[in-house]
Structure formats: C-alpha cells, structure tokens
Amino acid sequence: MTIDFQAEFDKRKDEFMADLTSLLSINSERDDSQADDKHPFGPGPVKALEHFLAMAERDGYKTRNIDNYAGDFEYGQGDQVLGIFGHLDVVPAGSGWETDPYQPVVKDGRLYARGSSDDKGPTMACYYGLKIIKELGLPVSKKVRFIVGTDEESGWADMDYYFAHNGLKDPDFGFSPDAEFPIINGEKGNITEYLHFGGDNAGSVLLHSFTGGLRENMVPESATALISGQLNQGDLAEQLAQFTAQHGVTGQLEKQDDKYQVTIFGKSAHGSTPEEGINGATLLASFLTSFDFAASAKDYLTVAAGLHGDFTAEKLGLAYTDACMGALSMNAGVFRFDSQSADNTIALNFRYPKGTDEHVLKAGLEKLAGVEKVSLSEAHHTPHYVPMEDELVKTLLSVYEKQTGLKGHEVVIGGGTFGRLLKRGVAFGAMFPDSINTMHQANEFMALDDLYRSAAIYAEAIYELIK
C-alpha cells in the first residue's frame, strides 16, 4: 500500500490551522503565584491541557487528565507501546514582540506566536500525523500513547507526577516532537548550579538591587540595577551610552530620588545555545564593575561580569569536551541581588556531556572568590544516548530521508527534551536543518511549510513504527 502522507495532510490543512491557532491563543506560561491543588503550575497550563484533551475527545479518543499535571490517550492494539511526548507549557513571552504573542499571526509564510515552534506547533503536527493514520484506518500492531505535559519548560514536575500516577506500564520506546530533524539521539546532562552571595555594601557607590533573567534556560534579554553614591547623572549617562554603543546594544538610565536605575537590553535565546543571545545581565555587570563598589556587592558584580561570553565555562576552568557528545555549555540565566537580603544568587545552567558531572562543576564553582556557597537544582538530567543501531533511530532516519531527500545523521544537543524520559527515547523534529531557530525568543515563529511537511513525516514515521 502506497500512501501519500503529504497529500493526506493537505486535505486537513485548514482544520489543522484552526486547531493550532486556538491552542496558541492560550497563555500557558507557568505562574506559581496562582498555583494550587487544582492548578499545579497555575491556570494557564491547565487551560491548555483541557483544550487539547477536548480536541482529542472530539476526534474519538478516550482521554485521561492526570490531575492537571499531564494528559494522554491511546490508539491501536498490541503488546508494545510507542510513546509520543509533547508539551503545552511555554516560556514567558518577555518583551520585544512586534505582535501579541498570544494572538497568532501569519506573515510571509510564518506563524508567529509563543509556542509556535516550542512546542505547540510540533505537538499539533504530530497529533495530525496520528490523526491521518486513524482516519485512514491503517492496520497497526502496536499501541500509540500520546502524552502531553505542562511543565517541560521548568522542572519537569509534570512528568515526574505522570509516571508516578498514570497507572500504566511505561512505553517501550518513543520520541518527542520538540527539537530538530534529522534526529536527536543524544542529549547532554542538564543541571542548574546556584552561586550564593551576601548583600552587604561598602565603597563610594552602593548596589541596592540587580535583577536579570526570567528562566534558567533562557539567556537574559535585559537586566536592571539600582545604584547610588558618588555619581554624576551626566557622566553616568555618557558612560552608559559609550558602553552600549561599543557592545551593539541599548541601555536606559532613570533617576529615582537619590538613586539611579540602569538597564541594558540584550537578546534572549535558548539556554542550550547561549552563544546565540546577548546576555543583558552579564553585560550590565561588566559596565558596573568600573565603579567603586565593595564587599558582597563588588563580589557579585565581579563574578557576574566574568561570566560574560564564557559559554563553555573555560574562564571558570570547567570546560570539558567528549568526543561523542561534544562540549559542555553554560548559560548564566537568572540574577537576583537585593542589599536587604543575606542570600543573593546567580543561576548557572550547565549542559554537560558524559565524562563530567554536577559534583565536578560544583567543586570548581566553590573556588570562585566571593562566592559564599554553591547549591544544586532539584531538577537534574544526566546525559542520555540511544545508539544509531537501534531500530527506533534507523526507522525515523529512514522516513526522514525518504520524505526530504536529505541524508540523516545523529545529533547530540545541549537542550533537554522529553525524549530522554525513555531509555529508548529520542527527539524527532520539527525544526529542519535550514530552519531559523526562534525558540525562547521574542517574535517566535515557525514556517508554515515546515509545520506542514513535519506533519507528513510524523504520519509516516508513526505508521512505520506501529504497522
């Protein structure tokens, strides 16, 4: 039987766009300020989950909502289970958008919205791939369990809860449509380590506060400091203008009573590729180190400034490269300093290959001058790898090559996906090698052609894995 999966998707294109647009219109950012027993990550993620499951019910699936942490449905029959893992939560929209991030807009063949590429767009493309198989009534010998989470962008507490409470045996193998083609069969370890500082000040200039970054897995697009002391507004404004011009960014200076609020605007990017962004926080610290701070304030700014551009932790003496999995990467993601607090932090998110670990990193960070202690995040993922010889990897690459005419090959990334939830789990699409990556950035988009052809690839891939 020969099936033109692209033609089958094209018949459903309008329906797909309507479903995707409605899902993208839901602000599903995590909001701990509104979290409760019924909304573990706030109301937005729950609303997106309920919307997705209602759509699946409409299409004839029997769905399950696992206490608003995650949801699933199954299709097919057989002893073996293929798991497909998507997620409905998104990172904070942040600033710098030219359109409303939760009012999807199509411009020049691109769909703009928060979540269009990470991960609502790919999740829906994969959903429609399975929908094609179901509606065509193709014969299958395995089950598919389609699982959607609501906390992938934070601590994966959704999947911790799902695997502990869903009551079914784990899928035997699977993939997550939350990365790139041709395949992601290796993922580096992922740990956040927190540098702790005191809050005392001395010197002729005082640091009252320093804030930057929204999430540990995002490059801070901006940072703001509140300072006072022996400063002249005109001189400060001129120095800031020269500094920002030198670094190709913008800044802002505002006087607040006897204090000055200084802001530098950089560019956000995914924390696994910090070199693609401009870290507003480390730049701001670099600017401030020229002033006469002292005590913990000086230690904080000196360490923060030293992190600028150190994407492989080479300046920290922690650089490491594995022949298979590549180099360690580091993102300085969240900065919080308040002179009234005795515990101020810098969050460093590491993506590390096999051959090093969180304890080696912690020991190195503890040697930094001015750092009082180092602590580790509860969320921690060790390096993950599925060999090229695995039948799952071979099948997915075969479908990719057939559909695109491009040669498949293995890829190891610093990003963490739900593919690592299973021993035989990988990430598969939906970004293509020539795609522009706007994940975690302002004006996030996904090209419509990429969404459409990924849906056809998912349809054939799922069928080849379960037929």
Q: Which residue stretches of 366-427 are H helix?
A: 391-404
The radius of gyration of the chain's CA atoms, rounded to the nearest angstrom, is 23
β-pairing, 143-149 with 81-87? parallel
Handedness of CA 361, 364, 369, 370 (dihedral sign): positive
Give me the phi and psi of 198, to 5 degrees please: -75, -175
Count of positions (residues) in the chain: 467
Q: Does residue 167 sit in helix, strand or coil?
A: coil
Clarify whether 172 is annotated catalytic. Answer: no
Q: 305 to each of 74, 370, 373, how far by Cα in Å? A: 50, 13, 18
Q: Report the C-alpha gap between 370 and 302 in whole angstroms.
A: 9
Q: What angle do CA 267, 269, 270 make, to 5 degrees?
A: 165
Q: Which residues contact 447 (CB under 8 A, 6 or more apart)?
A: 109, 110, 111, 435, 436
79 near 123, Cβ under 8 Å?
no
Catalytic residue (choose from 19, 72, 89, 180): 89
Chain centroid to Cα 174, Å, comes to 20
Catalytic residue (choose from 152, 153, 299, 444): 152
Under the phi-then-psi rule, with left for phi > 0, alpha for psi from -120 to 50, and beta for the rest, what region is 220?
beta
Half-sphere exposure at residue 396, Cβ-oriented, CA atoms within 13 angstroms? 31
Q: 455 to each of 6, 16, 243, 403, 448, how far by Cα in Å? A: 8, 10, 47, 11, 11
Which residue, chain included where needed, has tokens 């799902």? 162
Q: Which residues contact 294 (CB under 8 A, 6 or more apart)?
A: 201, 202, 203
Q: Report the C-alpha gap between 370 and 224 in whole angstroms.
A: 21
Which residue, chain included where needed, has tokens 């997915």? 396
Clarify whether 193 is annotated catalytic. Answer: no
Q: 95 to each of 98, 101, 218, 280, how far by Cα in Å? A: 9, 10, 13, 13
Q: Report the C-alpha gap between 430 and 86 in whole angstroms.
A: 11
Name the residues annotated as catalytic.
Answer: 89, 152
